[in-house]
Amino acid sequence: MTDTTERTARIDDLLARMTTKQKVGQLIQYFYFSLPAGAGEGIDPFISRQPQAVEAALAEGVVGSLLFVTDPAETNRLQKLAIEGNEHGIPLLFGFDVIHGLRTIFPVPIALAASWDADTIERAQTVAAREARAVGIHWAFAPMVDIARDARWGRIIEGAGEDPLLGSVVAAAQVRGFQGEELGASEHIVAGPKHFAGYGAALGGRDYDEVDLSDQEFWNTCLPPFKAAIDAGAGNIMSAYMDLNGVPASGNHWLLTEVLRDALGFEGFVVTDANAAKDLETHHFAADAADAAVRALNAGVDMEMGIFQPAFANLIEAIDDGRVDTARVDEAVRRILVVKEKLGLFEQPYVDEADARRVLADPAHRDEAQRAAERSAVLLRNEGGILPLDPDSLGSVAVIGPLATSQRDTLGPWVFDFDLGETVTIAEGIATRLAGKASVVVEQGVAEPKRTFPSMFEQFGDTSPSAPADFDADAALDRAVRAATDADVAIVVLGEQQDMIGENASRSDLSLPGDQQRLLEAVVATGTRVVLVLMNGRPLDIRWAAENVPGILDVWYPGTRGGSAVASLLFGDTAPAGKLPFTWPRTVGQVPIHHAITRSHAPQNQDKRYWNEESTPLFPFGHGLGYTSFEYAEVRVDAERVGLDGTVTVSVDVANTGDRDGVEVVQLYLHQRFGTSSRPLRQLAAFERVEIAAGQTETVAFRIGPDERRYWSAATRDWVLDATVFDVWVGGDANAQAHAEFTVG
Ligand code: BGC
């Protein structure tokens, strides 16, 4: 890396020598599809012609960045084409969806968030960055920091759930993991938080559909994770697809300039989501592709992520006829060149392929993935202490369910460069753990559930397993029931296949898809003890299971070493300590749902807003059990009253009352009794993950100052700090009982 003065001088010099066409080229990112074997049937003809078109553009020197290349030999080859294609030797920036790992697959992002453990999350993305950088990827389109409160929206899996504070901690940890100490650190890549902004509030939970977000929700809920990611140094931001309050996010000057630059202080470069510049025309906002390019650039977009013919190619003409200012173009080019320079790409644009192979094979990465999976699982129910299972007292175990043996589903969505061969399924993990102790019988029970409409990734050959056409449903169910009857315990692995969740995977219903509910009920009816292991990225309707199945462990999509992690949790080698990053509804009719609601008319009925069913969740936000128990003593506040700028220290003694060491995520919820706006009945304001030895007590202290109390008020249309009274609760979930109060002002 060079120092700042040299950097500016080099970029000034380049800007002075580059042609308009070359400058505009820097603002264009193309997909480059290296199609896997097996892809092709029904593939979009544009996609199959894409490689030749992109290579021609590289040879002409008019490409700034590529995405979707993960083979180091290919990144080197394409990089060489780019460098030789322009007389200035400007290298390409390679971006990719490094969402939860590249070769080593970590638990999905919502799972990592469920660890409530910034260290684990940072370590996961450090590994992902190392693998990505080794193959020549410089930039992750991650983290996704969109707050999601509607489980119908499939992309809930990519974020950190419903809460702005947890979302902020998770966002910052991911940025630190991807980028390291500073942008340009070796073995690290640029982080690109997305999708700016409000994308998680899609109408009806339907992906890409419009978002109407109130100002208070925008400032108080949607923006904090972006702010945290920017404060952590994120080098890039991706603009969102949808309309935000009637203006497309990718053509919204107020959003991309006044909010992002002026209010949040972002200094890096903005890329659109894929095709989102051209979409401005689709939105009936821009007149045509040229108008779309002008309006996106003028709004604050620096780079277009283009699928086919990019809209930004029209900028050359727009510069000539004055619709775009050259200073704005130079600003955008500069932002992109600065990143290339900070990454050291002018000096070292290529990767060492042998080194890449070594990094990708690093066994330490798999160990990290297993540790992360162990820390992400959430024990939802444990009646009668059914878990952990004692491996020495079991003669036989039945592992049942179509997801138990699926390598692809174990990894979850948003992975492309995985190795199925090294993926440990739940059935394999259990069999390995019990080898020499108990017999393990594996039964599918029911056919794999299927989407009604195909996944967008199917055309690339990426699918979850399907049942054969001659699948005999009755025989499969009979075999599963017999296996359960003969076993000491039945472990039933159910949930959604990985292609049922993620982008373009919204769902109007939250039930266990396919025949899985029937299978579960049949297995429970055998009278054998049952543990339900859930694989999911959204809460599912498990009302029946929550009453009838004693043990429920949510393992999400646990990744490469998922099966080993799940076995270690089930048999007590390690204890679950994850907590829900979202409120778990009883039924789809309750969504959107979250914990930070305000009090309203007839509060005595707030739990009974529907006449047919309670409006309380099935499991509260922050819920998660372990293999020990904790008791919270009284909450202490060090001052009854503080000034407006004052800080109180809230402390509580937490006792581990069980006979096993354990981890508790101690959560503090705050409520402001009156003020400029109505404030949530409870809102997470602080948390800490603490290890407490069996029989021991730890004191946990939190400082609650102006930053924890400030909020954006729609009454004053500004940030306010009220003189008021606060309630504070501390506990293990959003129903925390230990209470105190203090006065401010
Ligand atoms: C998604 C982005 C993703 C991009 C590139 C889009 O469809 O919305 O999150 O980064 O594709 O794959």
The least confident of 117-126, 393-402, 599-608 is: 599-608
- Could you tell me the pLDDT band of residue 458, with boundaries at 50, 70 and 90? confident
Peptide bond into 253 cis (omega under 30): no
Indicate the pLDDT class of residue 140, thresholds 50, 70 and 90.
very high
pLDDT of residue 307: 79
The answer to whether residues 551 and 678 belong to one domain is no
Q: Tell me the β-bridge partners of 691.
A: 663
Quick one: DSSP state of residue 667?
A: E
The predicted structure's pLDDT at residue 36: 57
> Do strands 243-244 and 247-248 pair parallel, antiparallel, or not at all (unpaired)?
antiparallel
Segment 465-474 shows an average pLDDT of: 94
Ligand 1 site residues, Cβ closer than 6 angstroms: 97, 141, 194, 273-274, 503
Let me know if 515 is a catalytic residue: no
One domain for residues 316 and 391: no
Q: Is 396 found in the same domain as 523?
A: yes
pLDDT at residue 42 tops 70: no
CA distance 97 to 29: 14
E-assigned strand segments in 476-567:
489-495, 529-535, 551-554
pLDDT at 225: 98
pLDDT of residue 50: 80
Residues 673 and 725 in one domain: yes
Read out DSSP for 590-651? Answer: G-S--S-PPP-SSGGGGGG-SSSS--S-SB-TT--B-SS-EEEEEEEES-SEE-TT--EEEE
Asked if pLDDT for residue 48 goes beyond 90, the answer is no
Q: Is pLDDT above 70 for 334?
A: yes
Which of 31, 503, 504 most suits a substitution to test ligand 1, by most atoms within 8 Å of the C-beta? Answer: 503
Q: How far is the CA of 612 from the centre of ligand 1 (A)?
A: 40
* Alpha carbon of 270 to ligand 1 centroid (Å): 14
The minimum-distance atom of ligand 1 relative to the CA of 192 is 10
Q: With bands split at pLDDT 50, 70 and 90, how would you rate the model's confidence at 217?
A: very high
Going from the Cα of 657 to the center of ligand 1, the distance in angstroms, rounded, reads 47
User: Once rounded to an integer, what is the mean pLDDT over residues 713-740?
Assistant: 98
611: Cβ contacts below 8 Å, ≥ 6 apart: none
Token look-up 């999708």 returns 195
The domain boundary residue, chosen from 323, 344, 361: 361
Q: Over 90: is that where the pLDDT of 463 sits?
A: no
Tens digits of residue pLDDT in 733-743 = 999 999 999 99
**Total of domains in the chain:** 3
Candidates 213, 554, 226; CA nearest to 379 is 554
The verdict on residue 303 lying in a domain is: yes
How many CB atoms are located within 10 Å of the residue 742 CB? Answer: 18
Q: What backbone phi and psi angles, to 5 degrees, belong to 689?
A: -95, 115
Where is the domain boundary, 329, 361, 393?
361
Residue 456: inside a domain, yes or no? yes
Residues 347 and 475 in one domain: no
Residue 531 Cα to ligand 1 middle (Å) = 36
332, 361, 390 - which closes a domain:
361
Is 696's pLDDT higher than 80?
A: yes
Asked if 347 and 382 sit in the same domain, the reply is no
Read off the CATH number of the domain in which 405 is found: 3.40.50.1700
Are residues 561 and 421 part of one domain? yes
The residue with tokens 């990611």 is 229
* Mean confidence (pLDDT) of the chain: 96
User: Which residue's CA is the nearest one to ligand 1's atom 8?
Assistant: 273
Angle at 456 between CA 580 and CA 240, to 5 degrees: 65
Q: Which of 150, 243, 273, 499 is catalytic?
A: 273
Contact 595, 621 (CB under 8 A): yes
Residue with CA closest to ligand 1 atom 6: 274
**Residue 680 in domain:** yes
Residue 253 belongs to a domain: no
Residue 112 pLDDT greater than 60, yes or no: yes
- Residue nearest atom 10 of ligand 1, based on CA coordinates: 141
- Could you tell me the distance, in angstroms and rounded to a whole number, from the CA of residue 503 to the centre of ligand 1? 8
Instruction: Measure the CA–CA gap between 198 and 99, rounded to whole angstroms.
Output: 19
Pair 610, 666: CB distance under 8 Å: no
Same domain, 475 and 458: yes
Q: Is residue 447 part of a domain?
A: yes
DSSP string, 71-99: -HHHHHHHHHHHHHHSTT-PPPEEEE--S
pLDDT class of 38 with cuts at 50, 70, 90: low
Mean pLDDT within 580-585: 98
From CA 567, how far away is CA 573, in angstroms rounded?
8
Nearest-angstrom CA–CA distance, 421 and 414: 18
State the average pLDDT over residues 587-591: 98
At 309 the pLDDT is 85
Is residue 384 located within the same domain as residue 302?
no
CA of 341 to the centre of ligand 1 (A): 25
Residue 225 belongs to some domain of the structure: no
Q: 60 CA distance to ligand 1 centroid (A)?
A: 26
Taking CB atoms within 8 Å and a gap of at least 24, the contacts of 77-80 are: 78/32, 79/136, 79/349, 79/350, 80/350
Q: Which two tokens stand for residue 85?
A: 């294609």
Q: Please identify, by atom number, the ligand 1 atom nearest to the C-alpha of residue 195.
A: 9
Q: Are residues 709 and 691 in the same domain?
A: yes
Same domain, 434 and 516: yes
384 burial class (0-12, 13-18, 19+ CB within 10 angstroms)?
A: exposed
Average pLDDT over residues 390-400: 97
Mean pLDDT, rounded, for 527-532: 98
In this predicted structure, the answer to whether residue 584 has a pLDDT above a threshold of 50 is yes
Q: Give nearest CA residue, ligand 1 atom 5.
A: 274
| Atom of ligand 1 at shortest range from CA of 141 | 10
- Of 662, 649, 740, 657, residue with least CA distance to 700: 649
**140 within domain boundaries:** no
To which H or E segment does residue 365 belong? helix 363-376
User: What is the percent of the chain where pLDDT is above 90?
Assistant: 94
Q: Which of 414, 457, 366, 356 is nearest to 71 (CA)?
A: 356
Query: In degrees rounded to 5, what are phi and psi of residue 353?
Result: -65, -35
CATH number of residue 698's parent domain: 2.60.40.10
Q: In the predicted model, is pLDDT for residue 1 greater than 50?
A: no
The string of pLDDT tens digits covering residues 73-110 is 999 999 999 999 999 999 999 999 999 999 999 999 99
Using a CB cutoff of 8 Å and minimum separation of 24, what contacts does 242-247 make?
Answer: 242/198, 242/199, 242/202, 242/208, 242/209, 242/210, 242/211, 243/210, 243/211, 243/283, 244/197, 244/198, 244/211, 244/213, 245/211, 245/212, 245/213, 246/210, 246/212, 247/285
**Does 678 score more than 70 pLDDT?**
yes
CA of 142, closest atom in ligand 1: 10
Non-local (6+) Cβ contacts of 740 within 8 A are: 634, 635, 636, 637, 650, 727, 728
Q: Average of pLDDT values for 508-533?
A: 98
Nearest CA to ligand 1 atom 7: 274
Domain with 77, as residue range(s), is 1-47+56-92+269-280+296-361
What does the pLDDT read at residue 593? 98
Ligand 1 centre to CA of 512 (Å) is 27
The answer to whether residue 357 is domain-embedded is: yes
pLDDT at res. 44: 67
252 Cβ partners below 8 Å, 6+ apart? Answer: 244, 299
Q: Whose CA is nearest to atom 12 of ligand 1?
A: 97
Angle of helix 45-60 relative to helix 72-85, nearest 10 degrees, comes to 50
* Residue 526 confidence (pLDDT): 98
Question: Phi, psi at residue 69, to the nearest 5°?
Answer: -110, 130
CA–CA distance, 427 with 48 (Å, rounded to integer): 38
Residue 35: is its pLDDT beyond 80? no
- 37, pLDDT greater than 80: no
- Spatial separation of the C-alpha atoms in residues 192 and 270, rounded to whole Å: 9
- CA of 195 from ligand 1 middle (Å) equals 9
DSSP, residue by residue, 181-233: TSTT-TT--EE--B-BTTGGG-GGG-TT--B---HHHIIIIIHHHHHHHHHTT
Distance 142 CA to ligand 1 centre (A): 10
Residue 180 near residue 188, CB atoms below 8 Å: yes
Averaged pLDDT, 511-515: 98
157: helix, strand or coil: helix
For 339, the token pair is 């990143």
Q: Enumerate the H helices of 487-596 as residue ranges.
A: 516-524, 543-548, 562-570
With the most atoms of ligand 1 within 8 angstroms of its CB, the residue from 47, 68, 108, 141 to mutate is 141
Q: Name the pLDDT band for 2 (thresholds 50, 70, 90).
A: very low
Residue 465 near residue 450 (C-beta atoms within 8 A): no
pLDDT value at residue 602: 94
Pick from 305, 415, 459, 506 the residue to mutate for probing ligand 1's pocket: most ligand atoms within 8 Å of its CB: 305
- Strand 641-642 and strand 648-656: the pairing is unpaired
Given pLDDT bands bounded at 50, 70 and 90, which one contains residue 8? confident
Choose which residue among 44, 97, 460 to substitute to test ligand 1 binding: the one with the highest number of ligand atoms within 8 A of its C-beta: 97
Per-residue confidence (pLDDT) for residue 40, from 0 to 100: 56
275 and 354 belong to one structural domain: yes
* Residue bearing the CA closest to ligand 1, atom 4: 274
Q: Shortest CA distance to 41 belongs to which of 540, 459, 633?
A: 459
69, 238, 504: which to mutate for ligand 1, most atoms within 8 A of CB? 238
- Is the alpha carbon torsion for 400, 404, 405, 409 positive or negative? positive
Q: What is the dihedral of CA 534, 568, 404, 489, to 10 degrees?
A: -90
CA distance 437 to 652: 43
CATH of the domain at 332: 3.20.20.300
